[in-house]
């Protein structure tokens, strides 16, 4: 294999060398005609056609070009780039040759870095152009190393501190791109973080300034010691691991939040930008809020949750759910739901301690004040206070044990919704015989437990919903409606103390009906189901459900067991999905429909198939394109291209179509035959800016579910799945596990053998099956 330059292709009058020697100095072999021809253009405008040996290193290719073109400068001063300015490296050289890319002989990264640093120091009039080049080149490791070695980070920070307008936007974008690397920005001080906070908090800041500023803060929040590679090994320790020298994982939530607090109203500004007409701005704001929620520390948890609750972030996210321009925000909203599940679970497991927790004392005092009751002493001389509201004892820590601080908050919000109604209900119940009184506080806690069961709040971050759940974000509002329903069912059924579990069963049944299809169901229908439905209709439906369901399944212990098994099933399925990614799979290359390609220019690619595989470190997604499928060896040797997992912001589903003229035997039955019509089995990997990293069509629904959910689950900021297949899989495993466990409860401790030994076949066929009925104990 060799490299040659055709003499007739020159555009200048300078003498031409007709042949580039091979690495051993010989002339090209006749087989060199099999090597594709690339166009190479020099800085002086000389254009030549060259056949480049794909087995050569890029440095060797550059050196031979310089020799053949009689360039006097050392070859180390030059590099190759394609028309898109992508640097040609040893990793992508083969791809550039095969695609016959137009190459340019340009300054080496070291020369470009030195030139850009010098221009930043001199603050010349071409600052905008300089920063445009910087934000483009800084993603390249070769350039970034040279740039950082020349103290380029200091110069970039100086520009950010002194600039405004578009120049500031370019500088912040360059910093954002630099932070995609896992080195080089470990010494950003609090002054810089505060500067970014001040830029973001200013209402006069341009949108193109706020976008990268928001992304920078998000990156700093996520760069905490617990997120560093290998930190999970030290996660059992209460103290966070100490980052090694030079590690960028030395910031985190507290470092950023301390600076955010210095700018009053910053968090409110970020929340307000969720309603921005600029979708990317709303996306970046949503991502920052998700990062804050996912990385909040133990000591600041209450502070952050209270601030977000006061700013009514849930309402802003619900508006995004109802917007028609949220396609790019779908993944972030599902991530937000998963974060809210995590925070709700945390509240549910926070012990109510009225003796030592001021917030709990305040909440209980509020509830008691608006009940308009007075303390009494029972016949034993003990205080009778909380029992008058429906608790069984005066020990509130014990009474809230199952629902924790979440139950206390729900009861307080139920009172605050209509204090007069609450006082009226309390007085009405106390006017009845004690046996007929509805235990209001106990009913409130039971409703919290039922809603937690409905929305699967059993473990931190567990979320298999692939749809929006706006009413889950209105937890307190739904709790108030369901509690009113409980009280009404108690009154209309004439229930007594022994009927509490029956009213709980009615409420569970109604919650499932009222909250069905909540992503499309209007709120007024939910209100009607809770406030207007008749007792007899609810009772008849619930009786039909009981005929199909064993009563044991509704007991508290069984519900708790189901919750534990649900988490175990989710963890198992998560590992299975990731294992599928590690094995790899073939996909059909596709085109994202939202891409602005002129339809008449779209052609079927020469290599329509792509094999993708996740590396063991779960950091890179390696792949190769091919004209046909072939057996791919283990490892990544056959997969020269790769995608950085950290750059994947969203796994968009159902947004890609097969290229025109793709044979029908290469696509599944769910893919429409019409051109540029989305396949249900397609998915696209998108960056935060909306750029498409990959667009594929899976061969079947199982492979599609494995990969879309697997990619979501390995992304640092994600905690959700997107396919109903995974949800059904988790639920099925849970039910199977539950039934097996229940054999020990209802099957008289039946032992389940680990395996079944198969006896040898009978020696003859001289036997028959008995018709005698089976007798117990036989």
| Per-residue b or e along 573-611, where b marks 16 or more CB atoms closer than 10 Å to that residue's CB | bbeebbebbeebbbbbbbbbbeeeeeeeebeeeeebbbb
Contact between 391 and 438 under an 8 Å Cβ cutoff? The reply is: no
In a domain, 430, yes or no: yes
Using alpha carbons only, give the angle 346, 352, 355 rounded to the nearest 5 degrees: 140
**398 and 294 in one domain?**
no
**433 and 323 in one domain?**
no
Residue pLDDT, tens place only, 479-499: 999 999 999 999 999 999 889
Question: Domain containing 100 — which CATH number?
Answer: 3.10.20.90
The reported pLDDT for the residue numbered 237 is 44
Residue pLDDT, tens place only, 603-662: 677 788 999 999 888 888 999 988 888 898 888 888 888 888 878 878 888 888 888 766
**133 and 194 in one domain?**
yes
Cα distance between residue 139 and residue 180, in whole Å: 7
Q: N- to C-terminal Cα distance for the chain?
A: 82
Domain boundary at 726, 742, 758, which?
726
The reported pLDDT for the residue numbered 55 is 85
Mean pLDDT of 583-600: 75
| Per-residue b or e along 520-551, where b marks 16 or more CB atoms closer than 10 Å to that residue's CB | eeeeeebeebbeebeeeebbeebeeeeeeeee
The pLDDT of residue 398 is above 70: yes
Cα distance between residue 620 and residue 641, in whole Å: 10
Q: What is the mean pLDDT of the chain?
A: 83
Residue pLDDT, tens place only, 155-173: 999 999 988 889 999 999 9
Name the least confident of 248-252, 314-318, 372-376, 703-707.
372-376
**501 and 617 in one domain?**
no
Question: Domain containing 653 — which CATH number?
Answer: 2.30.29.30
The helix (run of H) or strand (run of E) holding residue 613 is strand 609-614
pLDDT band at 757 (very low <50, low <70, confident <90, very high): low
Residue pLDDT, tens place only, 541-561: 888 776 666 555 556 667 678
In a domain, 332, yes or no: yes
**451 and 386 in one domain?**
yes
Higher-pLDDT residue of 14, 283: 283
In a domain, 733, yes or no: no
In a domain, 736, yes or no: no
Distance of CA 210 to the CA centre of its chain: 22
**117 and 86 in one domain?**
no
Name the least confident of 176-190, 481-495, 651-665, 743-757.
743-757
**381 and 337 in one domain?**
no
Sequence-distant (≥ 6) Cβ neighbours of residue 685 within 8 angstroms: 621, 643, 648, 650, 651, 692, 693, 694, 695, 711
Mean pLDDT of 201-210: 85
Beta bridge partners of 658: 590
DSSP letter at 205? S
Range of the domain at 671: 567-726
The reported pLDDT for the residue numbered 234 is 41
The pLDDT of residue 446 is above 60: yes
**641 and 620 in one domain?**
yes
Domain boundary at 42, 73, 107, which?
107
The reported pLDDT for the residue numbered 752 is 41
In a domain, 206, yes or no: yes
| Per-residue b or e along 410-445, where b marks 16 or more CB atoms closer than 10 Å to that residue's CB | bbbbbbebeeeebbebbeebeeeeeeebbbbbbbbb
Cα distance between residue 516 and residue 541, in whole Å: 15
The reported pLDDT for the residue numbered 617 is 81
The pLDDT of residue 5 is above 50: no
pLDDT above 90: percentage of residues in the chain: 42
In a domain, 243, yes or no: no
- Listed ranges 225-234, 580-589, 626-635; the one with the highest mean pLDDT: 580-589
Question: Domain containing 274 — which CATH number?
Answer: 1.25.10.10
**538 and 418 in one domain?**
yes
Name the least confident of 118-132, 255-269, 569-583, 678-692.
678-692
- Number of domains, the chain: 4
CA distances 631 to 446, 585, 586, 621, Å, are 57, 11, 10, 18
Residue pLDDT, tens place only, 523-543: 999 999 999 998 889 888 888
**425 and 320 in one domain?**
no
Contact between 445 and 391 under an 8 Å Cβ cutoff? The reply is: no
DSSP conformation letters of 696-734: EE-SSHHHHHHHHHHHHHHSTT------HHHHHHHHHHH
- Which pairing describes strands 609-614 and 585-592: parallel, antiparallel, or unpaired? antiparallel
Contact between 414 and 423 under an 8 Å Cβ cutoff? The reply is: no
Name the least confident of 80-84, 402-406, 412-416, 752-756.
752-756
- Which pairing describes strands 103-107 and 37-41: parallel, antiparallel, or unpaired? parallel
**524 and 398 in one domain?**
yes
Q: What is the pTM of this model?
A: 0.76
Query: Torsion angle of alpha carbons 749, 750, 752, 757, nearest 10°?
Result: 150
In a domain, 521, yes or no: yes
Sequence-distant (≥ 6) Cβ neighbours of residue 571 within 8 angstroms: none
In a domain, 141, yes or no: yes
**594 and 531 in one domain?**
no
């Amino acid at each position: 294999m060799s490299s040659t330059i055709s003499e007739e292709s020159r555009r200048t009058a300078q003498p031409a060398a007709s042949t580039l020697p091979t690495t051993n100095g010989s002339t090209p072999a006749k087989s060199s005609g099999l090597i594709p021809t690339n166009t190479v253009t020099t800085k002086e405008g000389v254009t030549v056609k060259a056949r480049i040996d794909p087995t050569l290193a890029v440095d060797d290719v550059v050196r031979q070009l310089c020799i053949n073109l009689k360039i006097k400068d050392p070859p180390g001063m030059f590099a190759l780039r394609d028309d898109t300015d992508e640097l040609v490296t040893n990793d992508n050289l083969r791809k550039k040759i095969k695609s016959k890319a137009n190459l340019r002989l340009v300054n080496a990264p070291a020369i470009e870095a030195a030139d850009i640093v010098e221009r930043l120091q001199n603050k010349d009039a071409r600052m905008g152009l300089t920063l445009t080049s910087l934000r483009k080149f800084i993603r390249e490791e070769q350039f970034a190393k040279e740039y950082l070695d020349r103290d380029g980070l200091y110069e970039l920070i100086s520009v950010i501190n002194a600039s405004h307008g578009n120049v500031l936007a370019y500088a912040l974008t360059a910093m954002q791109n630099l932070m995609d690397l896992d080195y080089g920005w470990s010494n950003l001080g609090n002054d810089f973080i505060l500067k970014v906070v001040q830029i973001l908090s200013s209402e006069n800041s341009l949108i193109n300034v706020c976008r990268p500023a928001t992304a920078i803060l998000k990156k700093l929040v996520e760069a905490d010691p617990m997120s560093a590679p290998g930190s999970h090994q030290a996660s059992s320790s209460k103290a966070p691991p100490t980052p090694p020298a030079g590690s960028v994982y030395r910031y985190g939530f507290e470092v950023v939040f301390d600076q955010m607090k210095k700018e009053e109203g910053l968090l409110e500004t970020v929340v307000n930008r969720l309603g921005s007409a600029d979708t990317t701005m709303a996306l970046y704001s949503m991502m920052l809020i998700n990062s804050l929620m996912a990385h909040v520390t133990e000591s600041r948890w209450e502070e952050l949750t209270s601030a977000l609750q006061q700013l009514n972030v849930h309402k802003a996210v619900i508006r995004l759910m109802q917007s028609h321009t949220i396609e790019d925000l779908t993944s972030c909203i599902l991530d937000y739901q998963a974060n809210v599940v995590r925070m709700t679970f945390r509240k549910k497991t926070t012990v109510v301690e009225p003796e030592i927790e001021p917030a709990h004392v305040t909440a209980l005092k509020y509830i008691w004040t608006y009940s308009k009751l007075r303390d009494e002493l029972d016949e034993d001389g003990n205080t009778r206070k909380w029992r008058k509201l429906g608790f069984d004892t005066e020990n509130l820590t014990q009474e809230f044990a199952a629902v924790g601080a979440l139950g206390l908050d729900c009861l307080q919000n139920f009172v605050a919704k209509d204090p007069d109604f609450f006082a009226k209900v309390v007085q009405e119940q106390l006017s009845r015989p004690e046996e007929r009184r509805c235990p209001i506080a106990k009913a409130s806690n039971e409703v919290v437990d039922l809603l937690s069961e409905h929305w699967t709040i059993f473990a931190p971050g567990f979320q298999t919903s692939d749809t929006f759940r706006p009413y889950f974000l209105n937890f307190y509002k739904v709790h108030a409606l369901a509690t009113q329903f409980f009280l009404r069912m108690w009154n209309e059924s004439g229930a007594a103390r022994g009927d509490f579990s029956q009213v709980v069963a009615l409420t569970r049944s109604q919650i499932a009906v009222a909250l069905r299809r909540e992503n499309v169901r209007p709120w007024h229908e939910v209100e009607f189901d809770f406030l207007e439905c008749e007792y007899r209709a609810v009772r008849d439906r619930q009786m039909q459900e009981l005929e199909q369901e064993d009563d044991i399944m509704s007991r508290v212990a069984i519900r708790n067991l189901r919750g534990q098994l649900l988490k175990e099933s989710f963890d198992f399925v998560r590992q299975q999905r990731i294992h599928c990614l590690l094995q790899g799979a073939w996909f059909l290359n596709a085109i994202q429909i939202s891409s602005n390609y002129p339809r008449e220019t779209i052609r079927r690619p020469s290599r329509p198939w792509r094999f993708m595989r996740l590396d063991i470190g779960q950091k890179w997604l390696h792949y190769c394109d091919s004209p046909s499928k072939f057996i791919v060896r283990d490892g990544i040797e056959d997969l020269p291209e790769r995608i950085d997992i950290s750059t994947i912001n969203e796994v968009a589903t159902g947004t890609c179509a097969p290229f025109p003229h793709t044979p029908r035997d290469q696509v599944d039955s769910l893919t429409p035959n019409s051109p540029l019509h989305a396949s249900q089995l397609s998915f696209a990997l998108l960056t935060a800016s909306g750029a498409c990293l990959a667009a594929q069509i899976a061969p079947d629904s199982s492979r599609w579910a494995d990969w879309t959910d697997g990619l979501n689950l390995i992304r640092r900021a994600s905690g959700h799945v997107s396919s109903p297949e995974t949800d059904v899989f988790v639920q099925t495993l849970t039910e199977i596990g539950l039934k097996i466990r229940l054999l020990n409860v209802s099957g008289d401790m039946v032992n389940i053998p680990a395996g079944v030994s198969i006896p040898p076949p009978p020696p003859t066929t001289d036997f028959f099956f008995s018709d005698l009925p089976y007798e117990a104990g036989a």
